[in-house]
Amino acid sequence: MTRARATALSARRPGLAALALASLVMLMGMALGLRAQSGGDLIVSHGYSFYGDLKYPADFAHYDYVNPDAPKGGEISYAALGTFDSMNPYTVKGRAGQLSWFMYESLLGDSPADAYGEGYGLLAWKLEYPPSKDWVIFHMRPEARFSDGTPVTAHDVLFSHNLLLEQGLASYAAAVKKRIPLAEVLDDHRIKFHFAPDISRRSLIDQVGGVPVWSKKWYEETGARLDESRLETSPGSGPYMIESVDVNRRIVYKRNPDYWGRDLPINRGRHNFDRIRVEYFGDDTAAFEAFKAGEYTFRQEGDSKKWATLYEFPKVASGAVVKTELPDGTPPTPTGIVFNLRRDILQDRRLRQALALGYNFEWTNASLQYGLFRQRVSFTQGTFLMAEGLPEGAELAALQTLGDLVPPEMLSEPALMPHTSSEDRLNDRRNIRTAMALLDEAGWAVGTDGMRRNAAGQPLRVVFIFNTAAEGTLSAVIENYVANLRIMGVDAVLEKVDPSQFTLRERSFDYDLIFDSYSTFLGAGTGLMQRFGSEDAAISTFNPAGLASPLVDATINGALNATSREEEHAWLRALDRALRWEFIMVPVWYNDSHWVSFYDMYEFPDPLPPYDLGHLDFWWWNVDKEAQLKAQGALR
């Protein structure tokens, strides 16, 4: 997934700190495969990171974690829940099919799974830019081809860049237009991007390097729009192409036998399956039964009840299905019950604190989740960027520069932690009493009917929307949370809606509460503004809370303008502390491993790289094991 097409949830996010002095960059570059030209006024490289400290040199053979001799062939299949009515992942209406972005490549590839914030040449074989990063030129590979055999040129890159600005998400287009005022084709295989003066150089080169590239010819011939819902797709240049689409039932991707980039070092040991099949189901119960029957072959489990109690079926006992926990080195996704701050009543932090007290992690984990989870505290949980205790050192110094933007309590009290609850009963009486007092203080008094109203007599009503395709255990968690809100006198309404309606309401911010997530971060990047910043808060679908905080804006800007890794890290710890202080969501749980089960015909690197499970990327198929499963009748 490129930076432009990221929707959520990726573990490898772009964003690194400020560039050192040009002479120092050149010295590092000599050891890392970079080379300088024209007396030190130009940096030329096979890849990009903000500091220039790439892990892999120009002559690398393959990523360290892959099996370069992995056999090609076979199929991997998994389940998707809900429905889809489009194969265009950029539509603003409808629901796109799983992996519908899969066929498209960018100038730079994604960060490798063992590094962070690095991109290596994919459609481009090199890039050049001055130490000031005022512009960048990408030199494209002349051999690159779309799946219809037509060449991929700089004209396609420019077309794709402009198409995203004209027909892409409004929040994305608004941010990019201010940062990238000009893009120009120099010739068929060179494109130059100019960057606005007096702005941070973060996420500029990697931004344009990550734009998905579409066929200008196809769009012009068909008249298709990027923002429309459609099943027809433009040809991609990637290793996979669509084999078949059966709406709401199945999508099959096949490996392109004529893929132009199969022998590139960036691709060796990757894209090993001949076919990737996605099977659709109305709910997870049906999906799980289909997995047991062998209708699909790989399952990543998210339901603790299923993981704890339902994997005792005969195929697991016989070894035909492997059930295992694999390490996950990424920070857990900041998931939780999100408050929509676009609603006037939710602007009151005391009200949000009171509503949060209705969630009982300890009881939920013990009674519904078999004690398998830990409570999430931070937006950068378990990493070196997690704010802990009182601010000190460089973080304290950074916060002190912000003056009155920083609440005094942020400097004098430890980083905000979630409340604790009794494991013995769902409605923890101590927390309910505290919540009642907060609601009284916020002006929501209890009437004779037990319901809370403001001075104008309006009831305290909050609507929680919930996707009916979500796992059964999650539904129970939310139902119990809503029950606790009602005990407080809140007119809490749980609206369970089908996936299509849920998507529509989510995009239009038609909710008070929603179970949603933010992207985690391990480095600074302007994507932080899109997710947490004020300017696009009213329209950004990446900011479900609609957070618009001058304090958060200031900490993000501090990170973007940092001049060293140490300074960057201090600002990002301050950002974590500020986000927790703003109280935009009730943090729930996290799992520090991948729960996976699969039919025993797949193999993977050992050890796995830290930042990606990689089952669709660098796992591979064992033909003999598949034949044995079929001979045993375990697999269809």
Tell me the pTM. Answer: 0.86
Q: How confident is the model at residue 354 (pLDDT cuts 50, 70, 90)?
A: very high
Q: How confident is the model at residue 3 (pLDDT cuts 50, 70, 90)?
A: very low
DSSP strand E in 196-265: where? 240-246, 250-255
Q: How confident is the model at residue 22 (pLDDT cuts 50, 70, 90)?
A: very low
What pLDDT score was predicted for residue 40? 55
DSSP-derived secondary structure for 365-394:
HHHTSTT--EE---TTTTSTT---SS--HH
Q: How confident is the model at residue 7 (pLDDT cuts 50, 70, 90)?
A: very low
Per-residue pLDDT reduced to its tens digit, 90-146: 887 788 999 999 999 999 999 999 998 899 999 999 999 999 999 999 999 999 999
What is the mean pLDDT of the segment spanning 245-256? 98
What pLDDT score was predicted for residue 94? 80
Tell me the three state secondary structure of residue 300.
strand
Report the percent of the chain where pLDDT is more than 70: 94
pLDDT at 28 > cutoff 90: no
Contact 412, 399 (CB under 8 A): no
Q: How confident is the model at residue 501 (pLDDT cuts 50, 70, 90)?
A: very high
Q: Which of 293, 302, 284, 281 is nearest to 321 (CA)?
A: 293
Contact 15, 201 (CB under 8 A): no
What is the mean pLDDT of the segment spanning 455-460? 96
Residue with tokens 């201010």: 178
pLDDT at 244 > cutoff 70: yes
Q: Please state, in angstroms and rounded to a whole number, the distance separating the CA atoms of residues 394 and 382.
A: 20
Q: Which of 217, 525, 537, 515 is nearest to 347 (CA)?
A: 537
DSSP-derived secondary structure for 526-542:
THHHHHH-STTTTT-TT
Helices vs. strands in the chain: H and E counts, helices first: 19, 26
Token representation of residue 435: 């919540």
User: 68-77, 88-97, 263-272: which has the minimum mean pLDDT?
Assistant: 88-97
Per-residue pLDDT reduced to its tens digit, 357-380: 999 999 999 999 999 999 999 999
Q: Please state, in angstroms and rounded to a whole number, the distance separating the CA atoms of residues 35 and 43.
A: 6
User: 87-96, 332-341, 461-470: which has the minimum mean pLDDT?
Assistant: 87-96
Residue with tokens 């990493």: 383
DSSP-derived secondary structure for 340-352:
-TTSGGGG-HHHH
What 251-256 contacts at long range (C-beta under 8 Å, 24+ apart), as own/partner pairs, is 251/84, 251/87, 251/97, 251/98, 251/99, 251/100, 251/277, 251/278, 251/280, 252/276, 252/277, 252/278, 253/99, 253/102, 253/103, 253/277, 255/72, 256/147
pLDDT at 331 > cutoff 50: yes
- Do the strands 275-281 and 75-81 form a parallel or antiparallel pair, or are they unpaired? parallel
What is the mean pLDDT of the segment spanning 149-168? 97
What is the mean pLDDT of the segment spanning 446-452? 95
pLDDT at 211 > cutoff 90: yes
Handedness of CA 80, 85, 89, 94 (dihedral sign): negative
Most confident of 6-20, 163-177, 253-267: 253-267
Per-residue pLDDT reduced to its tens digit, 524-570: 987 899 899 998 899 888 999 999 999 999 999 999 999 888 999 99
* Selected residue with higher pLDDT from 181 and 27: 181
What pLDDT score was predicted for residue 629? 97
Per-residue pLDDT reduced to its tens digit, 414-435: 999 999 999 999 999 999 999 9
Contact 163, 222 (CB under 8 A): no
In one-letter notation, the amino acid at residue 624 is: D
Q: Which of 536, 534, 543, 542 is nearest to 171 (CA)?
A: 536
Q: CATH number of 337-590: 3.40.50.300, 3.10.105.10, 3.40.50.800, 3.30.70.260? A: 3.10.105.10
CATH 3.40.190.10-classified regions of the chain: 22-65+75-222, 243-330+593-631
Enumerate the β-bridge partners of residue 246.
250
Q: How confident is the model at residue 37 (pLDDT cuts 50, 70, 90)?
A: very low
Token representation of residue 485: 């809100």
What pLDDT score was predicted for residue 4? 35
Per-residue pLDDT reduced to its tens digit, 578-628: 999 999 999 999 999 999 999 999 999 999 999 999 999 999 999 999 999
What does pLDDT average to over the chain?
Answer: 92
Contacts of residue 392, defined as CB under 8 A and 6 or more positions apart, other chains included, come to none
Q: Please state, in angstroms and rounded to a whole number, the distance separating the CA atoms of residues 610 and 65.
A: 10
Q: Which of 159, 111, 97 is nearest to 2 (CA)?
A: 111
Tell me the three state secondary structure of residue 561.
coil
pLDDT at 500 > cutoff 50: yes
Q: Please state, in angstroms and rounded to a whole number, the distance separating the CA atoms of residues 237 and 210.
A: 14
What is the mean pLDDT of the segment spanning 261-284? 97
Q: Please state, in angstroms and rounded to a whole number, the distance separating the CA atoms of residues 427 and 363.
A: 9
pLDDT at 457 > cutoff 80: yes
CATH 3.10.105.10-classified regions of the chain: 337-590
Q: Which of 1, 7, 12 is nearest to 330 (CA)?
A: 12
Q: Is 28 exposed, middle or buried (0-12, 13-18, 19+ CB in 10 A)?
A: middle
What is the mean pLDDT of the segment spanning 477-506? 96
What pLDDT score was predicted for residue 174? 84
CATH 3.40.190.10 fits 22-65+75-222, yes or no: yes
CATH class, domain 243-330+593-631, is alpha beta
